[in-house]
Amino acid sequence: MHKIQFPENFLWGGATSAYQCEGAWKEDGKGFAVTDLLTAGSREIPREFTPVEKDCYYPAATAIDHYHHYKEDIALFAEMGFKVYRMSISWVRIFPNGDDEVPNPAGLAFYHKIFQECKKYDIEPLVTISHHDVPLALALKQDGWLSRKTIPAFVTYCKTIFKEYQDEVKYWITFNEINMMTNYFGDIYTGGILSNGTRYLDIAHASEESLSADKMTKRFTALHHQFIASALAVQVGHDINPDFQIGSMVAGDAHYPYSCNPVNVIEAQQSMNRLWYCGDVMVRGEYSYASRHYLKGKGVDIEALGITEEDKCILKKGTIDFLAFSYYTSGCHAVDEHHETTAGNFSLGVANPYLKKSDWGWVFDPQGLRWMLNELYGRYHIPVFIAENGLGAIDEVSEDGKVHDPYRIQYLNEHVSAMRDALEDGVDLLGYTWWGPIDLVSASTGEMKKRYGFIYVDMDDQGKGSLKRIRKDSFYHYQKIIQTNGSCIE
């Protein structure tokens, strides 16, 4: 029995990203992002980047056409009672080439319309400034985030949107899951692999062990440039509007030892450094011993990242106001014996025998959310925000025309209960945005059938469907949770 209630102003809502939901990839002056060119299924980027002519299906082209359905979608979010809508601005809608002299007025106008719609329903927007989608032009011209030249381009983009939307948006996240840069998605999300025409999969799906020290150094250099860009954005944003709350985000998967064998305990502890590496730089404003230790373990010499004295000052001055994180799953570490491994967007080690798995093999671990909240808040003592959590599952429309998804309801209940446990523990938790409150394109597989939504979208993996929206059973359940401010969950 819980003694504590969710705070009155708790931000309940949902999260999406531009390239996974907007579609309209060539409309109103939008440029291309690297993520627009990810094919369905294998998520390759064709060697020739000519999306228009290619006989190839790109899920980002239409996605769920939120660009034209935003009014209907936001009305459905409002019907569930959302207090917050986490969405991302597409950099290339604002600056089609990433570093244009002037912003694209149609791009700016689109997000005004989104924010006006949110305002109509008292929904607070939470804006991710960069959710994977590096401008293709910058990737081709200068290897994306591998180049320092991408930093001023990003800061100009930030300044532009901060000024433009300062009266409409208070909460910002500079980068989505910034620690993903350290794994196989890193190359695509930094845009660093394109200018030499190398196929994404050739490098990005290589195991970390098989990557050369040079390649690893490049990943971490690109990440360093993002840290600097994020810190500068925090400073610029606070100058423009001191009331802005500017955070950044990490993927917060839990790492446990598989057994109490101390070698496994140490391995699990070391694995958490992937998260602390980024958290420490952004919250504490410096490369801590954990960051240095992590780099060393990857065979990267910190001196090779080109960190200047000026960079160090920027990091110190640009620490974030809150730390957002995604939480989906957990994994175990066993170096003493061999076990079946578990799935996720990170390599999470060994599967936990106590936990069930999703259709995509991601284990559910609600208690791990409480664990993670305590870890993050205990280490950093700044407010935390669950920016993503959700269940990707295969949903069917029943003969009655409805979608019955008791598995999602159960997943939601258990995670809400874990949040409440963490509140009782004393964690300062600002809010919770369910990933994909409406079905959207999966980041890792490009599928539509990996559905997270409370709202079903009639669209399949080949881009066919009426795009009709259907409220699933979980829609009404989340509505009840929000209506009762979580108290309907024990």
Q: Would you please indicate which residues are annotated as catalytic (active-site) residues?
A: 177, 388
Instruction: Please say which residue, 382 or 393, places its beta carbon nearer to ligand BG6.
Output: 393
Q: What's the closest the beta carbon of residue 177 comes to ligand BG6, in angstroms?
A: 5
Residue 484 CB neighbour total at 10 angstroms: 13
- Which two three-digit tokens encode residue 279? 């958290």
User: Please, what is the end-to-end C-alpha distance for the chain in angstroms?
Assistant: 6
Q: CA torsion sign, 45 to 46 to 52 to 57?
A: negative
Q: Do residues 256 and 264 make contact, with C-beta atoms less than 8 angstroms apart? A: no
H-helix or E-strand spanning residue 12: strand 11-15
Identity (one letter) of the amino acid at 254? A
- Closer residue to ligand BG6 in complex, CB, 73/311: 73
- Residue carrying structure tokens 């239409």: 62
Nearer to ligand BG6, 300 or 457 (CB): 457
Q: Which is nearer to ligand BG6, 108 or 393 (CB)?
A: 393
> Phi and psi at residue 388, in whole multiples of 5°?
-155, 140
Measured from the CB atom, the residue of 144 and 392 that comes closer to ligand BG6 is 392
Minimum CB distance to ligand BG6 smaller for 277 or for 434:
434
Are the CB atoms for 476 and 488 separated by under 8 Å?
A: no
Contacts of 220 (CB under 8 A, 6+ apart): 181, 182, 295, 298, 300, 305
Question: Minimal distance in Å, beta carbon 345 to ligand BG6?
Answer: 5
Integer angstrom CA distances of residue 16 from 73, 126, 416: 11, 10, 19
As beta bridge partners, residue 455 has 438, 471
Contact (Cβ atoms closer than 8 angstroms) between residue 102 and residue 160: no
Name the minimum Å distance from CB 132 to ligand BG6: 6
| Structure-token match 């109509």, residue found | 120
Cβ neighbors of 4 (< 8 A, separation 6 or more) are: 420, 423, 424
Whose Cβ is closer to ligand BG6: residue 96's or residue 392's? 392
* Alpha carbons 84 and 437: distance in angstroms, whole number: 12
Q: Could you tell me the smallest distance in angstroms from the CB atom of residue 449 to ligand BG6?
A: 11
Strand partners, 60: none
Q: Are 7 and 383 in contact (CB under 8 A)?
A: no
Contact footprint for ligand BG6 (CB under 6 A):
17, 20, 176-177, 251, 326, 345, 388, 392, 435, 442-444, 450
- In angstroms, what is the minimal distance from the CB of 115 to ligand BG6? 21
Q: In the bound complex, what is the minimum distance in angstroms from residue 20's beta carbon to ligand BG6?
A: 6
Of 236 and 387, nearer to ligand BG6 (C-beta) is 387
> Which residues are CB-neighbours of 160 under 8 A, at least 6 positions away?
94, 95, 103, 108
Give residue number: closest CB to ligand BG6. Answer: 444
Q: How far is 66 from 72, CA to CA, in rounded Å? A: 9
Letter for the amino acid at 283?
V
**In the complex, minimum distance from the CB of residue 391 to ligand BG6, in angstroms, rounded to a whole number:** 10
Closest contact distance (angstroms) between CB of 261 and ligand BG6 is: 30
